[in-house]
Structure 1
């Protein structure tokens, strides 16, 4: 058994709640732009004073509509300014926010709103409103539904026009640090989602220590962050609260469809995302260079960046020759990549899955360090992360200051600290199982090195045991294979089988370019090319690269290219882009069988 901890850098208030943040900002930084929203395609900044006024106005409407202290209020929307506005308004009305992913089915909506006992719900679109309405018969506690796209915020402001600011502030002060702030339902890779109760203390401990440890990334008046991940997910919520706690300028956009344009217009100093975002930026830049006949230059620049970053970890540092090559490519290639990322950023935060050492070194080598972290809904997002000044690529960093990470005898990662969830809502049995002996049992397998850096090697429940008795952790090889530009997702299979196999999906965006470069018919798809020898040879190269990271017994012997990608809509990945392995195993049973019978 091994454990590691760091002293707290932030003193969690003995009492109080998250609404203190917006009032404090208005007092200390009244004219600082703390949040930005899109108006007619352009960014409009709101000062701390203006944001507080809008939060109060929306909170008055909730109060006037009968929302009481401790009531649960659903919030079903994409990432946008109004999400954060309503989050703080719900807290200011003394209530508890219950996020609902905007891609949720009516059945999932009914479960979350029903299990939490939500008395009201804020939705974004007519489609969301229709989904809620379709299950409203099973939600006896639900009294109100407001729709953002139908003027829901203005409707709330009119309803509460007769209440005073003092009435809101009195209500805001009722919740204590140990009262629930939100009930976040887990993505549900297996079974029904469980509601994680996160208190105001959880967020103070989490966000306060993140801001303190990553201080250069959270300089008030200088720094900014663009949030495009779902705020319904706890990772997005961490950024929302931390940005306002600092405070730094926070922008919110609903997706990554036009990410390059959004980065160029907002120009954040910090970006956060999941590994797939950073993989796509790299792959798109490489494909563009190849299309312009500059592929060899890009590859040399990438190799130089990786070598430069690796040399930074050695006692002697980069050689003179490497420094000169790095300086040359900084002008020719790296500067253009910085422009794609907004032009002002030096850091990014990545979570949700491993980034991979190659990409980690590449980004640090171009002067844009991607700091990997690790956490769960139950740990209020990051329970470990790489510090800005002591990054150790290939790990998820050191424990959150003020918390403890322990590795049990069987390799499971255990957690302890004020940032942890309070309980599972309405589920005492699950709470007792997860919070045993004062430690949260994550279900993840990991190691701690001598400096307290954590590496995650797999999930206890995802360990594959082949027919020969070999234990295989899928994450290592999957991450390597997924690093290829053509690969969207990879899922290793082989439990109880004679060898390890894999299901592979093709990145549809990159496939278009690849098909054109290799003389394939226009309009070719993954379905039409899944047996194409050239495509299979390219995927085999990705598999070979993945196999190089593991032992022969753990390597992928055969794979199948699937005709379509895994998506939220297909039910094969969660909104936080995690594979629903059980669903994939069931839906693609024939494809898996083909691996072992052909």
Structure 2
């Protein structure tokens, strides 16, 4: 059994009492570890007064902010169950998920509340504002009275506020349900991933033992807290190590993000490939792909000076204090990864999924093998469902302390992914090398069957297309037995370039380096960037 994440939090609170723990970059909230603990217990007083008990569900629906993080810890520390709902979901989806989860309380951004119909969520005892914890709606007079007397009740119980000695969180509930994380807003077949305290604790312990954090380190939280990647690695893990988290309420434009890096100077940046690839295509590749630079790049002495200069500029872009650049969600393009490795930038690619809270594989950048996404983490097992896991692609299956209990009130979906002996079918395809490094080939549901039964992995073709001139992103589809690439080009940089002619050159260049059964028949340009999920993955199902 792992060390409880609430034990780590309790130690951080007592060790770094007067140090800052959380701030809102675009707001006024700034909490120390002391005031953080004070607010946790203040919320407990209200929960107690309205009858929120162990195992009761409390739904959170808001963009990233200190009050979201505070609400999560307050619910977890009183042994309730957090229900995380993405703020991007439509009102009808929020209604449905609140009802499906059987939540007693909803803490929501006021702007989102304005779009909701409380009568569509009849089981809720109250709806509270995420902005200031004011009461937005309640049918129960006792709840309104409890809210009115909240401050007085807290002062009566803790007349001098919370002291270090008062901070004592439960730690004997590792197997209990802590979180229901809804991975999509579908109303027909909701999949609420059931995450236990042990799932989160095992992830937290691994991170603290592997990704070294120093008290006072700073971090920008921009990945959605309603997703496990952001929740675990941009909140729970850093505050368990004494860090100061700065929350961005929504995914910002590049200038806002760059200013945040300059102000916060984060020790770590967690991101998806799309963000890094955009930075390189805008700021790095135009310089190093010039003919003279290509020659100098490989010239002894001068080449090293150029690479060091690029590394320093990239470090400055991230605030100048970066020790870890961790990429997740998909593989990096080969071109970008080759450049990061050439300039000796401290990057690595990890792999995980919500159902593993979220980490599956990782390896420190000093040991990381190019093209992989690390090796299986502690307290977990991995196997490839194929006759030859080193050469033959098969489904990635995992087992261990990170794996969820199942999908809430959805035994059919649970049975489809969890075997009787506890192995989780990830739906991803890959191989492993002799050192245990995992190489992902794609999603099983995205795999295309070639003309003679060959397996075609569109992600591998997209990687090659995305490295071509003027390509921002792409999707490879099969139409009438042929492969077609949809491409969103860099219209801003194109100028007078004949994009159709250039894409035809790109198509021919790709076809020269891929097998015959992977030949791209045509490239079609799209006018707008592809629609993304909150994790910045392309919504492939929208494109045919």
Question: Same-fold call, TM > 0.5?
Answer: yes
| 8 Å Cα contact 2:428/2:443 also seen in 1 | yes
In structure 2, the residue matched to 1:275 is 273
Tell me whether 1:424 sits opposite 2:407 in the alignment. Answer: yes
CA 1:286–1:387 in structure 2 vs 1: closer, same or farther (change >3 Å)? Answer: closer
Greater mean deviation of Cα atoms: 188-197 or 137-146: 188-197
Deviation (angstroms), 1:576: 1.3
Match of 1:448 among 408, 432, 450: 432
Tell me whether 1:162 sits opposite 2:144 in the alignment. Answer: no
Secondary structure at 2:368 match in 1: coil
Secondary structure at 1:89 match in 2: helix
In structure 1, the residue matched to 2:15 is 28
Deviation (angstroms), 1:498: 2.9
In structure 2, the residue matched to 1:182 is 179
Deviation (angstroms), 1:131: 2.8
Structure-1 separation of matches of 2:411 and 2:529: 37
| 8 Å Cα contact 2:198/2:402 also seen in 1 | yes
Tell me whether 1:235 sits opposite 2:225 in the alignment. Answer: no
In structure 2, the residue matched to 1:312 is none
> What are the Cα deviations for residues 423-443 of structure 1, in whole angstroms up to 9, with x where unaligned?
110011222221103200111
Deviation (angstroms), 1:397: 0.5
Structure-2 separation of matches of 1:114 and 1:171: 32
In structure 1, the residue matched to 2:141 is none
Deviation (angstroms), 1:179: 0.9
Secondary structure at 2:114 match in 1: helix
CA 1:346–1:26 in structure 2 vs 1: closer, same or farther (change >3 Å)? Answer: closer
Match of 1:374 among 347, 351, 355: 351
Structure-2 separation of matches of 1:342 and 1:178: 40
In structure 2, the residue matched to 1:81 is 66
Give the number of the structure with larger relative contact order, counting CA–CA contacts within 8 Å between residues 6 or more apart.
1
**Which structure is higher in helix share?**
1
CA 1:39–1:583 in structure 2 vs 1: closer, same or farther (change >3 Å)? Answer: closer
In structure 2, the residue matched to 1:435 is 418
Structure-2 separation of matches of 1:274 and 1:32: 30
TM-score for the superposition, normalised by structure 1: 0.79
Deviation (angstroms), 1:534: 0.9
Structure-1 separation of matches of 2:440 and 2:189: 25
Deviation (angstroms), 1:140: 1.9
In structure 2, the residue matched to 1:284 is 282
CA 1:137–1:236 in structure 2 vs 1: closer, same or farther (change >3 Å)? Answer: same
Structure 2 segments unaligned to the other structure (5+ residues): 137-145, 387-392
Deviation (angstroms), 1:274: 0.6
> What are the Cα deviations for residues 375-397 of structure 1, in whole angstroms up to 9, with x where unaligned?
11111112001323201121110
In structure 1, the residue matched to 2:390 is none
RMSD: 3.1
Structure-2 separation of matches of 1:184 and 1:122: 15
Structure 1 segments unaligned to the other structure (5+ residues): 1-10, 308-320, 519-532, 568-572, 586-598
CA 1:456–1:162 in structure 2 vs 1: closer, same or farther (change >3 Å)? Answer: same
Structure-1 separation of matches of 2:274 and 2:459: 14
> What count of residue pairs does the alignment treat as equivalent?
518
Structure-2 separation of matches of 1:34 and 1:208: 19
Structure-1 separation of matches of 2:201 and 2:348: 21
Structure-2 separation of matches of 1:468 and 1:444: 22
**Structure 2 matches for 1:99-118, cutoff 5 A?**
99-118=84-103
> What are the Cα deviations for residues 170-221 of structure 1, in whole angstroms up to 9, with x where unaligned?
9952871111111011236997340110001001111211221222xx1223
| 8 Å Cα contact 2:20/2:31 also seen in 1 | yes
Structure-1 separation of matches of 2:469 and 2:244: 33
Tell me whether 1:137 sits opposite 2:131 in the alignment. Answer: no
CA 1:174–1:213 in structure 2 vs 1: closer, same or farther (change >3 Å)? Answer: closer
Deviation (angstroms), 1:478: 1.5
| 8 Å Cα contact 2:427/2:444 also seen in 1 | yes
Secondary structure at 1:456 match in 2: strand
